[in-house]
Amino acid sequence: MEIIGRVESVGLTDLGVPVIDAKTDTGAYTSSLHCHNIRVVEEEEKQFLCFSMLDPTHEDYQEKEYRLEEFSQKKVRSSNGITQTRYKIRTRIRIGRSDYKTDFTLTDRKSMRYPILLGRKLLSKRFLVDCSQTYMLPLPKKKK
């Protein structure tokens, strides 16, 4: 198992995001991703989940809308105890030099410091978290 810090730089391979900061959250089961303008549209009898990552006030924001046909919904209890239904996608994340396929719920994290939370489902049996450290892994790089 690799040791990671409470904050790491990760890449979202399938979404074309080479490097972005993520906070490890051993209290969260599923990882979450900061998005806005999250909605479902129907075209030609198919449903698509449309969203933009981050928000216009974030320094890494790019005006790009994602459209995914594969998505689901999940009930999530936030840290304040409120349960909400969120959309969930499955995508690849690069942590250090390795890629992992994992689930992310989409939510507005504008008021939070880090746009991504890495939950237990991703961390378990892969990483040990040293909460006294940050950025312990090498920056994600594109595979050749």
Rounded CA-CA distance 93/8 in Å is 12
Q: Can you give the pLDDT of all 144 residues of the chain as single tens digits?
A: 899 999 999 999 999 888 999 999 998 999 999 999 999 999 989 999 999 998 777 777 778 999 999 999 999 887 778 898 999 999 999 999 999 999 999 998 877 889 999 999 999 999 999 999 999 998 876 555
Residue 8 forms beta bridges with which residues?
22
Q: What is the pTM of this model?
A: 0.88
Domain at 2-130, CATH class: mainly beta
Query: Residue ranges per domain, the chain?
Result: 2-130
Identify residue 70 by its one-letter amino acid code.
Answer: E
